[in-house]
Structure 1
Amino acid sequence: MVDFKLYTITGEQFHEGRDLKHVMEEAIHGGSDIIQLREKKGSKREVLKKARMLRELTKKYNVPLIVNDHIDIALAVDADGIHLGQDDLPLEEARKIIGPNKIIGISTHSIEEAREAEKGGADYIGVGPIFPTNSKDDVVDPVTTSYIKEVMNEITIPFVAIGGIKLHNVDEVLEAGATRICAISEIVGSEDIKGTCEEFLVKINRSKESANA
């Protein structure tokens, strides 16, 4: 079973002028324990080049690499898995291509989608967007923290809360029951990427300790 606490997704529009490798390495230094390459606009060659670089980086630190959408590129660089949206290739077909040992994550925006992903064999689901976000062009309306509570009550596979999550509102997400957090702009756009990741982890760990007390 895949497990992690802090999931960081690439978002180069939030750190123009700063090198992608440097940004993601700083996130790993700060404790990000899973990395996703999400590249919607580049050519296949450009995405492949970035994927190869990130595969080398994540192997160095023994951190899983997930590739968004591009199953062919995930296979080409031997990524640890793929992440699919609701309009991407169906999970069952993706599993046939990528094999039984790779991670498949699915974005979900409702409990019905979460149930379908779990039934279909997803390794984890994304739950969101919790808050309004500008990290994606085709974003759906916020699902709020109430969706976290629904997933907590019914879904058994790991889930990660995503969408508009910042240091100032993450406590609300954790209080709703999330134990895994994904952030994009708050991390990669930060002046202190490593420090921002460390702050997220302090909050995640404090919430877990409170829940176990």
Structure 2
Amino acid sequence: MSADRIVILTTEQARAQAGSDADAPALARALRAQGADAVCIVGAADGMDWIDTPHASGWLRGAAQSRDAFAAAMQAALARGFVPADAAILAKMTAPHALPLLSWGERAPASPAPSGPVRPLDLYAIVDSAARLRQVLDAGLRTVQLRIKKPVDADAAWLEMLRHDVRQAVSDCAAAGAELFVNDHWQVAHALGAAGVHLGQEDLLALGDEGRSALQATGMALGVSSHSLWELARARTLSPRYIACGPVWPTLTKDMPWLPQGLDNLSWWVRAAGMPVTAIGGILEPQHVREAARSGCDGVCIVRGLGADPRATLPGLRSALAAGRSHPLSGVPDAPHPSLPPTAA
């Protein structure tokens, strides 16, 4: 993406260039229609900036800056290989881990709500059926996610299967004193009494402002995926139970465009998020658990790494978690590395 097609303006400059007195979101859309690849309108409203990029658009709230300071910082981030959305997040940061907030739409971003003490998530099993969930509970795990993906040909029988497995998972987790997160199907989960749900950012965006408000009104604990700085800045506004950082290492579980975060980005996430972070992606062996735990993350997600018999693998994984936490990384990077190649569309 050419740097000369990334437009960074004040509101007055944007109105002059667009030939309109519209608000910042409309101005940005007009400038992109004129050929800009990305638009940042600095100080657009109430001390916030508006960004419109190929990956994310919204209000960016953090420390106030001049247009020139923001532009210089953003150009430096672009030169380091960050895509415009992440470069804008970095440009808004006036300290190494002072992450700004990014809205989901045209509503101003909400500040994260303070939370009281919560139990550590520790080893976090992700399973695809109620039967497998019972197996990991019997092995002793107490943080689980039921992830049943909806097929393109889902019918009434599939929906009944989903409801059966969610209902069984809710019952089994309540009996075991375990924390359950249901992936994706938040309305079914809420109707059947689940206390937690995990959603990816595309699903959360698709809900719109009203849908996200309805989700939050349920009171369910929310887990949110994040792979980039703009996703991390956006996730914080929902005051989630945790934010997942991934993929830490290359993974075959999902086909994704993201570069591996590595321990450097994971430890940066832990410091910048201001709330619990879980590590996910490519965590297959005890040594992966140990290294991830050294970052200070609250939980370590295991999918294939539990193997066919979690009773046999769990002791080694628990020992690795404890070993990693007892030998934390010696330092946290001041800045992350890009999690998308700069040529990503």
TM-score category (smaller protein): 0.7 to 0.9
After superposition, the Cα gap between the structure-2 partners of 1:134 and 1:117, relative to the gap in structure 1 and judged at 3 Å, is: same
CA distance in 2, matches of 1:139, 1:51: 30
Determine if contact 2:224/2:240 at 8 Å carries over to the other structure: yes
TM-score if structure 2 supplies the norm length? 0.53
Deviation per residue, 1:33-58 (Å, 9 max, x gap):
21111111363222111111111111
Aligned partner of 2:146 in structure 1 is 37
| Residue from 194, 199, 202 that aligns with 1:84 | 199
CA distance in 2: counterparts of 1:118 and 1:140, whole angstroms: 20
* Aligned ranges 1:49-198 → 2 under 5 Å: 49-90=164-205, 93-99=211-217, 101-138=219-256, 140-167=258-285, 168-187=287-306, 190-198=307-315
CA distance in 1, matches of 2:318, 2:196: 23
Contact kept, 8 Å, 1:106 with 1:126, in 2: the verdict is yes
- State the one-letter code of the partner of 1:110: S
Residue 5 of structure 1: how far off its partner (Å): 0.4
Counterpart-to-counterpart distance in 2, 1:196 and 1:119: 37
| Equivalent position of 2:162 in the other structure | 47
Return closer, same or farther for 1:100/1:121 CA change in 2, 3 Å cut-off: farther
1:17 alignment counterpart = none
Instruction: Give 1:146 shift.
Output: 2.2
Contact 1:2–1:103 (Cα < 8 Å) also in 2 = no
Q: 8 Å contact 2:123–2:141 — kept in the other structure?
A: yes
The Cα offsets for residues 81-132 of structure 1, whole Å up to 9 and x where unpaired, read as: 1111010024863342352631011000023321221133222111101112
Moved >6 Å (runs of 4+): none
- Structure number, greater radius of gyration: 2
CA distance in 2, matches of 1:142, 1:45: 37
Q: Distance in 1 between matches of 2:119 and 2:185?
A: 20
Greater Cα offset, 150-159 or 91-100: 91-100
SS at match of 1:7: strand
- Corresponding letter in the other structure for 2:197: I
- CA displacement at 1:138 relative to structure 2: 4.8
**Take 1:161 and 1:102, find their aligned partners in 2: how far apart are those partners?**
21
The question of whether the paired residues in 2 share the 8 Å contact of 1:9 and 1:182 is answered with: yes
Change (3 A) 1:150 1:209: closer
How many corresponding residue pairs?
Answer: 201
**Is the Cα–Cα contact under 8 Å of residues 124 and 299 in structure 2 kept in the other structure?**
yes
Instruction: Between 87-96 and 191-200, report the one with greater CA deviation.
Output: 87-96
Q: Distance in 1 between matches of 2:168 and 2:291?
A: 35
CA drift at 1:195: 2.5
- Aligned residue type for 1:133: T
Distance (whole Å) between structure 1 residues aligned to residue 185 and residue 196 of structure 2: 10
In structure 2, the CA distance between the partners of 1:89 and 1:79, relative to structure 1 (3 Å rule), is same
Does the C-alpha gap of structure 1 residues 205 and 172 become closer, same or farther in structure 2, counting only changes over 3 Å?
A: closer
Deviation at 1:27, TM superposition (A): 1.5
Distance 1:48 1:98 in 2: 21
1:118-175: CA deviation from partner (whole Å, max 9, x where unpaired): 1332221111011122223457442222221211221211011001102242222223
Q: Distance in 2 between matches of 1:78 and 1:98?
A: 15
- Structure 1 position 64, deviation (Å): 1.6
Q: 1:100 to 1:3 in 2, by over 3 A?
A: farther
Q: 2:181 aligns to what SS in structure 1?
A: strand
Give the share of equivalent positions with the same residue, in percent: 26
Give 5+ residue unaligned stretches, structure 2.
1-117, 329-345
